[in-house]
Amino acid sequence: MASVQEHLRRWVEAGLLTADDADRLEAWEAAQVSSPRTESRPGAMEALLYLGVVILGAGVWALLAQGWSELEAWARVLSVAVPLGLMLAAGAALRLSDDPQYRRGSQAAWFVAVPLFTGLLGVIFEEYGPGIDDRGDLMMVIAAATLLLACVLWLLNPGHAQVLALALSAGFLGETMGASPDEYSRRVSGVALLVAGIAGATLADAEWLTPRRSARAFFAVLLILGPFQAGVGGTTGFELLAGAAAAAVVAFGVWREDFALVMVGVAGAFIVLITFIFEHFASDLGAPLALMLSGGVVIAGVIALAALRGRLRSVAG
């Protein structure tokens, strides 16, 4: 295959380009070859960083599972505090690098630091007592502190991993809100998840919460999960709201041309529909058959529209 230089020489000889234009194009092509985009691909060092994070997490988990009961209170605290400090320090150090691999590694380290912080607070409160009698209130305090840490880490290093940690922390806080009454309330936690999802998706769409695409997708999950969870057990109103939320996410994703958002909405709609059918029409075979037929019609319609769109483009061309 001919090189860029050969193509440019032929175009100059044919009078399609001037010599100066050819020089600028050649310089531009050379810059693309050494562009940072090629250097931002995952490499061996980044893989080793992730491996180290996984090994550290596995070590903490093994300690919790095997020798936890044999440790003194102070040793239990240190066994979680030391890995937390290492993750925070490693993330801070890697964040200072200009290499995209190391910066992604810093995000991974800080992502792991968030659940470690949650565990540390749980151990401290369990061993030394926080002065909070109600366990639901205690969990809510831990969840709120976790969300605060996730917000701080996102502000310092906004990335996909930090946005995911933010969404998970918001979901954790929403779940603890349902546990604050005497009995766990799916409705309260579901509404809290719905509010968190709407708030996060709105902030992401306004580009106040970045990266926008991943933030919208993560919080859209909470937006659908909230009413779905509140509707578990036969609350039809919340089940319908979950379906409406999934449809709204799909429509919004189409409007914003965001494939990930569309997939979140489609997956949510599928889960909501299947759950609704099994809860209300478990003994009626007509509903599943109608659902299968409807799905087939939708797929056939999409294929037909795709073919028609291709023909229209060829005619227009």
Task: Please write the tens of the pLDDT for every residue from 31-76.
Answer: 655 444 444 566 666 677 777 777 777 777 777 677 777 778 888 8
Residues 6+ apart with CB under 8 A from 261: 213, 216, 217, 220, 249, 250, 252, 253
Region at 262 (left for phi over 0; alpha for psi -120 to 50; beta for the rest)? alpha
Average pLDDT, the chain: 80
SS3 content of the chain, % helix, strand, coil (to 5): 85, 0, 15
Place of tokens 């505090």: 81
Query: Is the pLDDT at 286 greater than 60, yes or no?
Result: no
Q: Is 127 in contact with 162 (CB distance < 8 Å)?
A: no
- The predicted pLDDT at position 265 comes to 86
Task: Tokens for 204, please give them.
Answer: 């992401």
From CA 164, how far away is CA 75, in angstroms rounded? 30
Query: Is the pLDDT at 154 greater than 90, yes or no?
Result: yes
Q: How confident is the model at residue 167 (pLDDT cuts 50, 70, 90)?
A: very high
- The predicted pLDDT at position 88 comes to 92
Please name which of 305, 221, 307, 207 lies closest in space to residue 256, comparing C-alpha atoms: 207
- The predicted pLDDT at position 129 comes to 73
Residues 6+ apart with CB under 8 A from 317: none
Task: Please write the tens of the pLDDT for every residue from 194-240.
Answer: 999 999 999 999 889 989 999 999 999 999 999 988 887 666 788 88
Please name which of 252, 158, 141, 235 lies closest in space to residue 197, comparing C-alpha atoms: 252
Task: Please write the tens of the pLDDT for every residue from 233-283.
Answer: 666 788 888 889 988 988 888 888 788 888 888 888 888 877 777 776 655
Cis amide prior to 211 (ω within 30 degrees): yes
From CA 40, how far away is CA 284, in angstroms rounded? 54
- The predicted pLDDT at position 307 comes to 64
